[in-house]
Amino acid sequence: MKLSELFKRETLSLSFEVFPPKTDTAFESVKIATEEIAKLKPSFMSVTYGAGGGTSRYTLEIAKNIKENYSVPTLAHLTCVSSTRETVLAKIEEMKSMGIENVMALRGDLTPELENSDREKWAYRHAVDLIRDIKESGADFCIGGACYPEIHPESENQKLDIQYLKEKVDAGCSFLTTQMFFDNNLLYNFLYKIRQAGITVPVIPGIMPITNANQVSRAIKLSGSFMPQRFKSLVDKFGHSPQAMKQAGIAYATDQIIDLFANGITNVHVYSMNNPDVAAKIQANLSDILG
């Protein structure tokens, strides 16, 4: 099923994100975790793509398994910045042959090695280049793109960031998924600005349940997200106790999701990080709210 069809529905729904194993030996345990999440019957599941393409073959394998054996629509991520055009075009063909219908088209993060290399020689400099190649390949994918309510860390300012986002959407994105954020007002402001800029596609907010204190600094480093005082207090109070922190983090994420639903958002994406327990608890917290 194409996700663009799913997003036309009025019912409230949750989707979950999983990531492929970093090593071959971890494959079986990751597969089991993704299957446990699939059994919760989310509206869809997205499968990330290893930066640099490390264990990228597993992205498609996991996406196909979830789709075919659990009837959950899947979204396979694909990054381009460290790839040649040949590799990317081959990957697109492989996706087609595996029946993948939805692709999240991403640039990928810059490694120090890439940062120090000659950008003129890169086959892909931005996600928009990948989106154009997918379109030109004739593949009939529903394409998603990433967006950043708190602006992308490399961007000079939000105006430019939104201008490039519009280019990405015009190139062929049917929907956008946001980077994590911990203050919903940041999302509402962002939505207002992008709608003003003429971006009309569905925007799926991405919510990251922080379930241990160590995740906090990593999440901020990765996303540059603003931590509201309410969230900081919660980490200060419960961070030393893994069980308490997990419960508090799930409650905080649940609260964010309820507020999003109450404010007219119908689809929320949860960065469930191969953790069926966290996904199940959030879903259970919303059992009377979800359609």
Cα gap 289→126, rounded to integer Å: 38
Stretch that binds ligand FAD, among 88-96, 102-110, 188-196, 257-265 (CB under 6 A): 102-110
In 3D, which of 5, 87, 69 has the Cα closest to residue 31?
69
Q: What pairing do the DSSP bridges indicate for beta strands 102-106 and 74-79?
A: parallel
Can you tell me which residue has the tokens 């993948």? 100
Look up 17 and say whether it is catalytic: yes
Stretch that binds ligand FAD, among 146-154, 181-189, 191-199, 259-267 (CB under 6 A): 146-154
56 φ/ψ angles, rounded to the nearest 5 degrees: -60, -25
What does the block give as tokens for 22? 């970093």
Which one among 27, 70, 164, 188 touches ligand FAD, defined by CB under 6 A? 164
Q: Per CB under 6 A, does 91 bind ligand FAD?
A: no
The CA distances from residue 251 to 21, 41, 61, 104, 230, in Å, are 28, 21, 32, 28, 12
Which one among 18, 100, 103, 127 touches ligand FAD, defined by CB under 6 A? 127
Task: In angstroms, give the least distance from the CB of 128 to ligand FAD.
Answer: 5
- Here's the x/- map for ligand FAD, 179-218, by CB under 6 A: it reads as x--------------------------x------------
Q: Per CB under 6 A, does 274 bind ligand FAD?
A: no
Helix (H, G, I), strand (E, B) or coil at 238: helix
In 3D, which of 223, 127, 236 has the Cα closest to residue 172?
127
Identify the active-site residue in 5, 10, 17, 68.
Answer: 17
Stretch that binds ligand FAD, among 20-28, 48-56, 83-91, 132-140 (CB under 6 A): 48-56
Q: How far is CA 85 from the centre of its chain?
A: 23
Q: Per CB under 6 A, does 152 bind ligand FAD?
A: yes
Which one among 13, 15, 74, 79 touches ligand FAD, defined by CB under 6 A? 79
Task: In angstroms, give the least distance from the CB of 236 to ligand FAD.
Answer: 27
Kindly list the catalytic residues: 17
